[in-house]
Amino acid sequence: MAKKKFNLELALYTAINNQIVSEGTNMLGAFRDVLTDLMHIAHNQGIEFKSRLKAAEEVYTEERATCEDCGKKLQQDKGNNFTLCTKCQNNYPD
């Protein structure tokens, strides 16, 4: 039986929702709290948070520039938004 891949995005979404419920905050407040905790973890581990944030932004941009169905690079419009896969014709709103 294949090992199920851990879904970090789902775990973070769950943590944010748990923070909303337990602290009586909203999405923005809970998101801030998660980022603050990540900054504490980075500090405690000797990791430069700002450099990791910059690297994450680069990965995020790359992921947004790729069609989820076929993996082809998406075309950019004039506003640098990734909008159309020319292979499978999927549209991606910004």
Q: What is the DSSP string of the chain?
A: -PPPPP-HHHHHHHHHHHHHHHHT--HHHHHHHHHHHHHHHHHHHT--HHHHHHHHHHHHHHHHTB-TTT-PBPEE-TTS-EEE-TTT--B---
pLDDT surpasses 70 at 1: no
CA distances from 92 to 10, 31, 56, 75, 82 (A): 21, 24, 21, 10, 7
Q: Please write the tens of the pLDDT for every residue from 10-29.
A: 999 999 999 999 999 999 99
Q: What is the pLDDT of residue 45?
A: 98
Mean pLDDT, residues 44-51 taken together: 98
Mean pLDDT, residues 41-65 taken together: 92
Q: What is the pLDDT of residue 92?
A: 61
